Amino acid sequence: MFTFESDYTEGAHEAILQRFLETNRVQVSGYGADPFTRSAAEKIRAACEDPRAEVVFLAGGTQTNQLLIDALLRPYEGVLCAETGHINTHESGAVESTGHKVLTLPQYEGKLKAGDLRDWMQRFLRDETREHMVWPGLVYLTWPTEYGTLYSRQELTEISDTAHEFGLKVYLDGARMAYGLVSPACDVDLPFLARTLDAFYIGGTKCGALLGEAAVFPRGGIPAHFLAQQKRHGALLAKGRAVGLQFDVLFTDGLYLDCGRHAVEQALRLKQGLIEKGYTLFLDSPTNQQFLVLDNGKLRELEQKVGVTRWGPLDEGHTIVRLVTSWATPPEAVSELLALL
Amino acid sequence: MFTFESDYTEGAHEAILQRFLETNRVQVSGYGADPFTRSAAEKIRAACEDPRAEVVFLAGGTQTNQLLIDALLRPYEGVLCAETGHINTHESGAVESTGHKVLTLPQYEGKLKAGDLRDWMQRFLRDETREHMVWPGLVYLTWPTEYGTLYSRQELTEISDTAHEFGLKVYLDGARMAYGLVSPACDVDLPFLARTLDAFYIGGTKCGALLGEAAVFPRGGIPAHFLAQQKRHGALLAKGRAVGLQFDVLFTDGLYLDCGRHAVEQALRLKQGLIEKGYTLFLDSPTNQQFLVLDNGKLRELEQKVGVTRWGPLDEGHTIVRLVTSWATPPEAVSELLALL
Amino acid sequence: MFTFESDYTEGAHEAILQRFLETNRVQVSGYGADPFTRSAAEKIRAACEDPRAEVVFLAGGTQTNQLLIDALLRPYEGVLCAETGHINTHESGAVESTGHKVLTLPQYEGKLKAGDLRDWMQRFLRDETREHMVWPGLVYLTWPTEYGTLYSRQELTEISDTAHEFGLKVYLDGARMAYGLVSPACDVDLPFLARTLDAFYIGGTKCGALLGEAAVFPRGGIPAHFLAQQKRHGALLAKGRAVGLQFDVLFTDGLYLDCGRHAVEQALRLKQGLIEKGYTLFLDSPTNQQFLVLDNGKLRELEQKVGVTRWGPLDEGHTIVRLVTSWATPPEAVSELLALL
Amino acid sequence: MFTFESDYTEGAHEAILQRFLETNRVQVSGYGADPFTRSAAEKIRAACEDPRAEVVFLAGGTQTNQLLIDALLRPYEGVLCAETGHINTHESGAVESTGHKVLTLPQYEGKLKAGDLRDWMQRFLRDETREHMVWPGLVYLTWPTEYGTLYSRQELTEISDTAHEFGLKVYLDGARMAYGLVSPACDVDLPFLARTLDAFYIGGTKCGALLGEAAVFPRGGIPAHFLAQQKRHGALLAKGRAVGLQFDVLFTDGLYLDCGRHAVEQALRLKQGLIEKGYTLFLDSPTNQQFLVLDNGKLRELEQKVGVTRWGPLDEGHTIVRLVTSWATPPEAVSELLALL
């Protein structure tokens, strides 16, 4: 049974595994001081057009969020995010475990609005009891969001400008960044993100790597003693090559974007097919996650043949279903899914 | 230049990489609920002769220590270890970052003694101010130790009995376990460890895997909601297969022990050669780490040709040098090193 | 200028200060092992009709909330509360600083509902991703609430039954408990609270003491090594008598309830007067905090003569104003305030 | 039975209690924004001859240590102290509970040495693995120490200079400061401490107050948003006057030093008497804590008549006994104790 449950059901792009084999017996230093990792960082700096960017490789998304948010905040500060933000819902309190409150803003298809951020900050700063509240230090964004949607260049600029006006940093969780960068709806690129944000990560686990994420601190803005902070979080790999080499391959000859492009093409084929068949989409996603409204009977039938994610009930008779493609989704699987529906 | 700096300078045993390639497009569930991970856990349970053991796969050693110690302790408890214990010296305060004090006992070539543990506990329990002190909850051991030495069956039994008599748990850090299990000086095995300890981990990163460690909770003794605790620590991999599959390969046809055996054979060849050449060993290690005393002039000369680790100064004219072999060390490299010395 | 800003503007009931003077040179042991503290605990046990209750004296409300919630939860658990709960809004992230997420439920005049709690828990337990979420461990209530309102006996019973059905503990913040217990709207008493809750505290700071709160763990349910946990939180006073003696006085001859009664009588006089003068109350509070809607011009005028708290804007032209009485409010001050309005 | 167990067996200097009575009904703002607290801060600034010093009042010593160390360190930094330092031994891990490791230096009658600090830092900075270790950020001193001894002006200058040379801050725990400042062996004063240290606290609980400590940040060096940090630690008292007023009294007409003087006079009388009777002192303390070596039989006899603290066994037949005087010790009690011995 094929599954559209998630974008982490397969291994890694084969070019990565081949490169592991080719370089396997090359002896290198540990903890990220190896030539593969250095080369990957260099390529990401080039892709970001930011020669001063610092790049750090980590094993997973929650680890990256937890470490970066903790390193970017002062201990008593909190992080603002849309109420649907991954750190607020599905990371088992990883951010709070480091002592920081997650402060929520309203969400609109997974996105927060600069205007809401401004209102929140103005209300906070007018509040005479604010020293008894959690001081905000950072805005957390996901891109693409948990709903597959994308902030536009203008939206990101407004959010970033507003945040900076109030002394807040902006950090972007790019677990599925490849699927955003290649979307027809996308009007931003890595150099823009590097100019606009204070930190972000380029997701590997869901975008073609076996595991791993690349954290980027633009313009040299890496927190002090970051290596020690990484180690203290249990987030420093002895064999740094295990992630560094993967990003070196992904950022060679545009492989990272190719991985994204394949998935988004298949997702948009699926979306188009669903529309043509008269299905209702829960929202209009331009990336590799599609959200479909299904009659509960139909859903149970479908689940006999193909794996999907139940996102939650819409009403008594209908369920929101998530369908996800990846760098590895065979076009035939999409055709078969459409045939089934 | 060949390097004997550490046992994490190469990639992974090729059988692992081959298996990644073979299974790459098989779609599996995330977060450890995949057949590779389940098979690895089953094989480790069998190797431990403990059908109720719970096995959890993690990305690195510090992460494993931090998570397990935090999960095994109550928040106000501390962990006892030899003053040379890795958690006390080289983990950037990862244990303290979760709120637990590291309480130290004297070390003897990297090992602590049951008698010291008993004395410490008796003194603690007699102290009328003990509720103002940190309550001990766990004993942390490394095996092999940071000095390559091994606790014997009798030593582990005594430590474990003493700890349990005082209500303490015992947790063993087996980052280099393969190199202990195959040592001629070893008189324990996995079933003994599973009967004697409350938790331990079987190291992968330094013993043939690309990355990863296998945490074992014998007799079903896994802390409640451990998956959520893993996630909260940023230690849950979306692609659980990335580590699970590696242990599945390592625990097939004895590969894990073969990896260990190769390294220890080369280390003992090296040790024998050094003795024959009249060199002074800092201590008598029966595993893959050897500690040599070198004249500082000689050391500088050697470092032109081969990578070693300076462990620290012995006296004004001499340095303690660590030489490490691994599953991947070519026998010729050892011969060349001996020829150089 | 008289102020109705809060119930902590004066010192302590004079009987407390007199008793400090009388007993000042009596030498006693530290850390709560003194006869004043023991007597206070005994009187509170009697007032709760719970001979097995454990009583611990602490310096302040946020400290008490932080310590008790941390001690009652397992490290990975979160605490459920109304979104207006003090721990969620005005404790600077004290709960999160110990690693626990605050999970919010809708509020109705400061109260949460058993039905919402049940819905939340059912949704949580049905959610297949719940191990990636924060596991709830405790329900936090305030009584009286931040809005002066009171849960009834039936409401507390329903909340407690629902919580216990789902394995959650219930903890009640009684910073203003005296003002609840004597309210004409109150149908509960201390023995009921001790039978129904898992922990609560009887507020002193706002109810006649110079400082201090009495934490009660009914039926012997005090967390293990609580004294060490107190010390670890910086919450153990060397001179335990400094708080213990105050509660000994407050729980002698009904002084605690007398303090409450005086304040509530004055608050209800004020409320009645406001109603008679045609003012709009923001909500119907039966305790010592009254919430008035005032025209902004009128408010600025009033603030020239008397201290009040601006609770927040109602609309462009009106503000919600909080007026608070205490054990020390002179009846004349209430008369003067009514004359001013 | 009179007791010399500790300096927190009595209440408060009566001038404090009288002042509480006199001012009891004066309405003031909460959280330290009251005139008593402001006056106390002003007097301490004057006593320190540092008009820019920031003064914050807290409830107890462990709370003060925990909050200040946490606020002065970055999250990944540790604190260096003598191995006998109170934070390392008798605070139940309060410092570690906020994520910071306590790093120990050798102790000499409770004091650490500048030379050892320099050696430690040089060894640390030469260590190539230092990013895997805990980065030191602060030196913690007690004055008087846990053994009643005092650092001299020269020792404090050397320690401070060494610390600052290596980028470390210096924080001094003055729980018993009154008893140091008036000792005949003392050659420092508050202005010197304010010029030399980065933070310190002037102890109240053990020096004449009912409870409370005054934290001093010389030269305006208070950490950002300190009020919010205080609240987050549960260390902000609603009735700030409860501590502020006490220090206002203690710093009026030299009462703080008078309290210290009385205790030290009695302690030195006791010491002189013990020497004259031929007793062995464990060490030479010039402050209010005296350490006596007693035969175990004699000790048991003595304990029938007077309260003392067993500090620990010296050898099989002898015990180290601590005798403490305070601002409240009647001279007759010392005479009776000497008569008993």
The answer to whether the CB atoms of D310 and B131 lie below 8 A apart is no
Model confidence pLDDT, tens digit, residues D266-291 = 999 999 999 999 999 999 999 999 99
Query: How many Cα atoms within 13 Å fall on the side-chain side of residue D11?
Result: 24
Quick check: C100 contacting A, CB < 8 Å?
yes
The answer to whether the CB atoms of B234 and A11 lie below 8 A apart is no
The answer to whether the CB atoms of A94 and B234 lie below 8 A apart is yes
Could you tell me the end-to-end alpha-carbon distance of chain B, in angstroms, rounded to an integer? 15
Query: What are the residue ranges in chain D where pLDDT is below 70?
Result: none
CB-CB contact of C25 with C54 (8 Å): no
Q: What does the pLDDT read at residue C172?
A: 98
Residue A331 φ/ψ region, left for φ over 0, alpha for ψ in the -120 to 50 degree band, beta for the rest: alpha
Model confidence pLDDT, tens digit, residues B171-209 = 999 999 999 999 999 999 999 999 999 999 999 999 999
Quick check: B186 contacting A, CB < 8 Å?
no
pTM above 0.95, yes or no: yes
Quick check: A313 contacting C, CB < 8 Å?
no
The answer to whether the CB atoms of D224 and A74 lie below 8 A apart is yes
Q: Closest Cα of chain D to C15: distance in Å?
A: 10
B28 Cβ contact partners less than 8 Å away, ≥ 6 residues apart: A9, B34, B35, B36, B241
Q: What does the pLDDT read at residue B1?
A: 76
Instruction: Report d(CA C294, CA C317) in Å as an integer.
Output: 9
Q: Given C89, C91, C96, which is nearest A96 (Cβ)?
A: C96
CB-CB contact of B246 with B209 (8 Å): yes
User: What phi and psi, each to the nearest 5 degrees, are found at residue D51?
Assistant: -65, -15
> For all residues of chain C together, what is the average pLDDT?
97
Rounded mean pLDDT, C8-23:
98
Instruction: Report d(CA D132, CA A323) in Å as an integer.
Output: 43
Q: Which chains touch B (3 or more CB pairs under 8 A)?
A: A, C, D
Model confidence pLDDT, tens digit, residues C32-41 = 999 999 999 9
Query: What would the two tokens of residue C194 be?
Result: 């001790």
Cβ neighbours of D89 in B, within 8 Å: 133
Pairing of strands D77-82, D135-142: parallel
Q: Closest Cα of chain C to D69: distance in Å?
A: 12
Q: Given D76, D97, D128, which is nearest B99 (Cβ)?
A: D97
Q: Given B65, B205, B234, which is nearest A60 (Cβ)?
A: B234
Percent of chain C that is helix, strand, coil (3-state, to 5): 40, 20, 40
C42 Cβ contact partners less than 8 Å away, ≥ 6 residues apart: none
CB-CB contact of A6 with A15 (8 Å): no
CB-CB contact of B75 with C75 (8 Å): yes
Query: How many Cα atoms within 13 Å fall on the side-chain side of residue D146?
Result: 20
Alpha helices in chain A (DSSP H): 14-23, 35-48, 61-72, 86-89, 94-97, 114-126, 153-165, 177-181, 190-196, 226-232, 241-250, 255-276, 296-303, 331-340
- Residue A1 confidence class, pLDDT cut points 50, 70, 90: confident
Cβ neighbours of C238 in D, within 8 Å: 6, 8, 60-61, 205-206, 211
pLDDT value at B240 more than 90: yes
Q: Closest Cα of chain A to B309: distance in Å?
A: 12
Q: Closest Cα of chain C to D16: distance in Å?
A: 10
| Chain A / chain B CB contacts < 8 angstroms | 157
Q: Closest Cα of chain D to B123: distance in Å?
A: 10
SS3 sequence of chain B: CCECCCCCCCCCCHHHHHHHHHHCCCCCCCCCCCHHHHHHHHHHHHHCCCCCCEEEEECCHHHHHHHHHHHHCCCCEEEEEECCCHHHHCCCCHHHHCCCCEEEECCECCECCHHHHHHHHHHHHHCCCHHHCCEEEEEEEECCCCCCCCCCHHHHHHHHHHHHHCCCEEEEEECCHHHHHCCCCCCCCHHHHHHHCCEEEEECCCCCCCCCEEEEEHHHCCCCCHHHHHHHCCCCCCCCHHHHHHHHHHCCCCHHHHHHHHHHHHHHHHHHHHHHCCCEECCCCCCCEEEEEEEHHHHHHHHCCCECEEEEEEECCEEEEEEECCCCCCHHHHHHHHHHC
CB-CB contact of B321 with B308 (8 Å): yes
D91 by DSSP, 3-state: which? coil
Q: What does the pLDDT read at residue D1?
A: 76
Cβ neighbours of B99 in C, within 8 Å: 99
The answer to whether the CB atoms of D78 and B93 lie below 8 A apart is yes
Instruction: Report d(CA A196, CA A161) in Å as an integer.
Output: 9
CB-CB contact of A89 with A102 (8 Å): no
User: What phi and psi, each to the nearest 5 degrees, are found at residue D290?
Assistant: -120, 140
Q: In chain D, which among 135-154 make CB contacts under 8 A with chain A?
A: 135
Q: Given A26, A93, A231, which is nearest B232 (Cβ)?
A: A93
CA A101 to chain centre: 21
Q: Which residues pair with A319 in a beta bridge?
A: A294, A313
User: What phi and psi, each to the nearest 5 degrees, are found at residue A157?
Assistant: -65, -45
Rounded mean pLDDT, C45-59:
98
Taking alpha carbons only, the member of B282, B270, B277, B269 closest to residue B306 is: B270
CB-CB contact of C171 with C138 (8 Å): yes
The answer to whether the CB atoms of C242 and D17 lie below 8 A apart is no
Q: Given B92, B96, B129, which is nearest D96 (Cβ)?
A: B96
Q: Closest Cα of chain A to D173: distance in Å?
A: 23
Q: Closest Cα of chain C to D5: distance in Å?
A: 8
Any idea what the Cα angle at residue D78 is, between residues D223 and D116, rounded to 5°? 115
Cβ burial D203-216 (10 Å sphere, 16+ → b, else e): bbbbbbbbbbbbbb
DSSP states of A178-209:
HHHHT-TT----HHHHHHH-SEEEEE-TTTT-
Quick check: A108 contacting D, CB < 8 Å?
no
Q: What does the pLDDT read at residue D257?
A: 98
Instruction: Report d(CA C270, CA B104) in Å as an integer.
Output: 63
The answer to whether the CB atoms of B132 and D96 lie below 8 A apart is no
B286 Cβ contact partners less than 8 Å away, ≥ 6 residues apart: B148, B149, B150, B183, B184, B185, B186, B264, B268
Model confidence pLDDT, tens digit, residues C93-145 = 999 999 999 999 999 999 999 999 999 999 999 999 999 999 999 999 999 99
Residue of chain D whose Cα is closest to the Cα of B87: D133
Q: Which helix (H) or strand (E) holds C213?
A: strand C213-217
Cβ burial D13-23 (10 Å sphere, 16+ → b, else e): bebbbebbbeb
The answer to whether the CB atoms of B228 and C133 lie below 8 A apart is yes
CB-CB contact of C248 with C22 (8 Å): no
What distances in angstroms separate CA C47 from CA A67, B98, C243, C248, one per listed residue? 49, 39, 18, 12
Instruction: Report d(CA D202, CA D178) in Å as an integer.
Output: 8
Cβ neighbours of A225 in D, within 8 Å: 74, 76, 131, 135
Model confidence pLDDT, tens digit, residues A62-98 = 999 999 999 999 999 999 999 999 999 999 999 999 9
Quick check: B74 contacting C, CB < 8 Å?
yes
Best of C66, C69, C76 to disrupt the B interface (most B CBs within 10 Å) is C76
Q: Which residues pair with C3 in a beta bridge?
A: C307
Q: Which helix (H) or strand (E) holds A77?
A: strand A77-82
Instruction: Report d(CA C262, CA C327) in Å as an integer.
Output: 6
The DSSP letter of residue D15 is: H
Rounded to 10 degrees, the C-alpha dihedral A51/A57/A63/A69 comes to: -20
A145 by DSSP, 3-state: which? coil
Percent of chain C clearing pLDDT 90 (strictly above): 99
What ipTM describes this predicted complex? 0.97
Q: Given C76, C229, C232, which is nearest B228 (Cβ)?
A: C76
Model confidence pLDDT, tens digit, residues A185-244 = 999 999 999 999 999 999 999 999 999 999 999 999 999 999 999 999 999 999 999 999
> For all residues of chain B together, what is the average pLDDT?
97
Q: What does the pLDDT read at residue C1?
A: 76
CB-CB contact of A158 with A294 (8 Å): no
The sheet that has A54-58: what strands, in order across it? Answer: A54-58, A213-217, A199-203, A169-174, A135-142, A77-82, A102-105
Q: In chain A, which among 4-63 make CB contacts under 8 A with chain B?
A: 5-6, 8-12, 14, 17, 20-21, 23-30, 59-63
C288 by DSSP, 3-state: which? coil
C90 by DSSP, 3-state: which? coil
Instruction: Report d(CA C114, CA D45) in Å as an integer.
Output: 53
Query: What would the two tokens of residue A275 be?
Result: 């529309």
Instruction: Report d(CA C45, CA B193) in Å as an integer.
Output: 49
Cβ neighbours of B99 in D, within 8 Å: 93, 96-99
The sheet that has A318-324: what strands, in order across it? Answer: A280-281, A289-295, A318-324, A309-313
Quick check: C125 contacting B, CB < 8 Å?
no
Rounded mean pLDDT, C233-252:
98
Model confidence pLDDT, tens digit, residues C146-183 = 999 999 999 999 999 999 999 999 999 999 999 999 99
Cβ neighbours of D76 in A, within 8 Å: 225, 228-229, 232
Cβ neighbours of C227 in B, within 8 Å: 131
Q: Closest Cα of chain D to C46: distance in Å?
A: 27
B323 Cβ contact partners less than 8 Å away, ≥ 6 residues apart: B4, B267, B270, B289, B290, B291, B292, B308, B309, B337
Number of neighbours of residue A220 by Cβ within 10 angstroms? 10
Model confidence pLDDT, tens digit, residues B314-336 = 999 999 999 999 999 999 999 99
The answer to whether the CB atoms of D133 and B90 lie below 8 A apart is yes
